[in-house]
Amino acid sequence: MNHKIQFIILILFCSFSLGVEAQSNDTIRHEVLLETSLGTIRLVLYNETPLHRDNFLRLVKEGYYDGILFHRVISNFMIQTGDSTTRHAKAGESVGEYSPDYTIPAEIVFPKYFHKRGALAAAREGDDVNPERASSSSQFYIVVGKNHSDADLDRVQQILDEQTGGKATLTKEIRTHYRKKGGTPHLDGQYTVFGEVLEGYDVVKKIDFVFTDDYDRPVDDVRIIKATVVK
């Protein structure tokens, strides 16, 4: 085999290898481990929400979430964290107002991703001051929710029609999921869902059932000890 032919084969091989690598990078889903004071939660991030994914990974790698509290917990609804000032919050202090001074454009991928139990979503300011529904730079919540009857879902659909201009329709499959497995359907089409719980939903439930004060802050602190990118 002459050198010219060898060179062409080498180029083709390298091109094929790069193509395979690029494909695997596109299909890989990053995972984050939250070690909390009540146990470990493993999250997977969606590639269809790249701005939220990359921002979350960067904050995790910087140690932003290490030591902070789940500052807002509402039973049968969700658990929320992401305010770095809670790292040194005193008992009973009202918290949860801080996040770094930027927002992330909404990446709402509904109906593919909806507010099922275990969904990971970005918190945000209300529509009155944030009509574009841009997400908080750091605050996120994990859905707990509850099971819903058909009558519940009919009422929710009416609300969604008003709040989204008819752009968020609960499909037959989504309605079945909410009936059988639960979630928080009234948030659909309005907040960015960018991942979900892979392991440790029992820990999410433990956090969701703790005693809270009048500000929905757990009376006994529930803390993210360390967040780590594991994949």
CB of 94 within 8 A of CB of 119?
no
pTM above 0.85, yes or no: yes
pLDDT tens track, the chain, 231 positions:
444 444 433 433 444 443 433 334 568 999 999 999 999 999 999 999 999 999 999 999 999 999 999 999 999 999 999 999 999 999 989 999 999 999 999 999 999 999 999 999 999 999 999 999 999 999 999 999 999 999 999 999 999 999 999 999 999 999 999 999 999 999 999 999 999 999 999 999 999 999 999 999 999 999 999 999 998
Q: In the prediction, which pLDDT does 46 show?
A: 98
Give the integer Cα–Cα distance in Å for 150 and 180: 11
Encode pLDDT of 106-163 as tens digits: 999 999 999 999 999 999 999 999 999 999 999 999 999 999 999 999 999 999 999 9
Helix spans in the chain (H): 3-27, 50-62, 150-164, 172-180, 201-208
Give the integer Cα–Cα distance in Å for 73 and 214: 11
